[in-house]
Amino acid sequence: MSEALVSVGALVRDSGFSRLKSYIIGLTGLAYYDDKDDALAERLARRLRANGRADCTGYLELLMSDPEGRRELDELISELTIGETFFFRYPEQFEALRTIILPDCIARNRDERRLRVWSAGCSTGAEPYSIAVLVHEVLGEHLPDWHVTILATDINRDFLARARTGRFGDWALRSVAESQRAALFVADNGQWLLRNPYRGMVSFAHHNLISPGDCWMPPDGFGGGGFDIILCRNVLIYFDRETIQLLLPRLADGLKADGWLLVGSSEPNEDFNRVFATVNAPGTTLYRKAAPASPPLWAAEAPQIRVLPPRPARIARSRALPPRRSPPPAVPVERPRPSLSEIIDLADRGRWDEARRVCDQCLAVDAMNPVTHYLSALVHHHGGTGSLEAEQSCRKAIYLDRNFALAHYQLGAILAGRGEPAGARRALLNVLRILEQLPDTAPLPAGDGLTAGGLRAMVKLRLEGRGRS
């Protein structure tokens, strides 16, 4: 390997750079790096050197390998993520928590005496610990009677490890009044150790808001959802609009009815208003889960969301879509025939390797079934195996049934995710062309109840989103 080759300039000029960039953004959501090639290359160069890789393609191969790729992805994420955080960031939001949100949750949960808070993208822990301090203060002597869960998650395992120590430098305490410091922290070797009643109130767990391999709804043991409050502050700023549009309904799903969402002060856009009700508090806007008055943005996106990740990661159940050609009689079937519903079930549970294996078995029996190829594309795409395999499977599905609207749509999503807007646009226009012949109410093959009208709306959203970005 030539060290000189792994320079920032060489990486940016490397023919595999844009593919590697798309892959990383697809896995992490960090579209922030879309127009920051030098910053990305600088971080990548460190990882290539550490792994003795000379070029982007070699490093991409490493990332895609198993289990080395997963370990390396963690190292890379530590390089890429930005963890700026401090105690009581946005004091106006903490004031709203103290005076509006917590009193509301406490009143509503009076009988069960449970309070559940999720800090999504918690970095090194200042945010969830600030919540712990506040909940401690607001519940006061009643705290022991309450079952309080403060779950804090992040994609960066190093941040989580630091968060668990409860140790912070001066910089993280810059919003903590001098008078409050001694009550909350103990000075410890030039750092500040958060005192125990607060430290013990927070549980940390690894979680990727984007990755389909992870359960998006935070981890087992926390009951997956039903949160009274979600803080997802200064995380969405690193994602693109399309990703945010996909995430907002998921965050809403994670909340109880009337639950609250707090985001960073520069993050809101009109998409929030489509999914959440707004509540104006002094100096800040709060979001609240509410039944939307008109069909919300996410209703049109629902099937896409289902197939993306979560736990259970659902893939649209296939309706019988007749293959265009009859299957070749060549392969004798002696073992039980694997079924498409098996693939769907495995994907629902995030068991991507097995789902892939069953796809292959189904294809060995019936290589001409476009639905199997389509499902295989979804499994590759959302299971993180690679967009090339996903693209190939989509193209096979389309070859076998050129009017397979969802396969064209999926192809568009794959190409867009990989930073190939022209191809993505072509695929989406193909969807619109196919749908032209169908009334809005027509259900789509392999669409799990998705109608032509629904898919049309999804395509338009994507086309508009692409136009804006």
Ligand X SMILES: C[S@@+](CC[C@H](N)C(=O)[O-])C[C@H]1O[C@@H](n2cnc3c(N)ncnc32)[C@H](O)[C@@H]1O
Contact footprint for ligand X (CB under 6 A): 28-30, 81-85, 89, 121-123, 127, 154-156, 159, 207-210, 233-235, 238, 264
CB atoms within 10 A of CB 52: 10
Instruction: Please state the φ and ψ torsions of residue 152, each to the nearest 5 degrees.
Output: -125, 125
Residue 67, preceding bond cis, omega within 30 degrees? yes
Give residues with Cβ within 8 angstroms of 50, minimum separation 6: 75
Give residues with Cβ within 8 angstroms of 425, minimum separation 6: 412, 463, 466
The least distance separating ligand X from the CB of residue 147, rounded to whole angstroms, comes to 24
The least distance separating ligand X from the CB of residue 285, rounded to whole angstroms, comes to 16
Going from the C-alpha of 82 to that of each of 101, 134, 156, 171, the distances in angstroms are 28, 25, 9, 15
User: Which one, 405 or 416, has the nearer CB to ligand X?
Assistant: 416
The least distance separating ligand X from the CB of residue 219, rounded to whole angstroms, comes to 12
User: CB of 264 within 8 A of CB of 233?
Assistant: yes
User: Which one, 233 or 289, has the nearer CB to ligand X?
Assistant: 233
The least distance separating ligand X from the CB of residue 320, rounded to whole angstroms, comes to 37
User: Which one, 59 or 204, has the nearer CB to ligand X?
Assistant: 204
Residue 197, preceding bond cis, omega within 30 degrees? no
The least distance separating ligand X from the CB of residue 80, rounded to whole angstroms, comes to 8
The least distance separating ligand X from the CB of residue 223, rounded to whole angstroms, comes to 19
User: Which one, 37 or 74, has the nearer CB to ligand X?
Assistant: 74
Q: What is the CA radius of gyration of the chain?
A: 24
User: Which one, 59 or 94, has the nearer CB to ligand X?
Assistant: 94
The least distance separating ligand X from the CB of residue 284, rounded to whole angstroms, comes to 13
The least distance separating ligand X from the CB of residue 214, rounded to whole angstroms, comes to 8
d(CA 121, CA 16): 30
The least distance separating ligand X from the CB of residue 352, rounded to whole angstroms, comes to 18
User: Which one, 90 or 352, has the nearer CB to ligand X?
Assistant: 90
167-168 sheet: strands from edge to edge = 167-168, 191-194, 185-188
d(CA 468, CA 420): 15
DSSP 8-state symbol, 97: I
d(CA 250, CA 215): 12
* CA quadruple 173, 178, 182, 188: dihedral sign: positive
User: Which one, 33 or 409, has the nearer CB to ligand X?
Assistant: 33
The least distance separating ligand X from the CB of residue 130, rounded to whole angstroms, comes to 9
User: Which one, 155 or 446, has the nearer CB to ligand X?
Assistant: 155
Q: If we measure between CA atoms, which residue out of 152, 143, 288 comes closest to residue 222?
A: 152
User: Which one, 234 or 372, has the nearer CB to ligand X?
Assistant: 234
CA atoms within 13 A on the CB side of 198: 25
Torsion of CA 386, 391, 394, 396, to 10 degrees: -110
d(CA 285, CA 73): 35
Output the six-digit token pair for 208: 């990727």
User: Which one, 127 or 389, has the nearer CB to ligand X?
Assistant: 127
The least distance separating ligand X from the CB of residue 194, rounded to whole angstroms, comes to 15
User: Which one, 26 or 447, has the nearer CB to ligand X?
Assistant: 26
Q: If we measure between CA atoms, which residue out of 257, 262, 247, 227 comes closest to residue 95?
A: 262
Element (H, E) at 53: none
d(CA 60, CA 57): 5
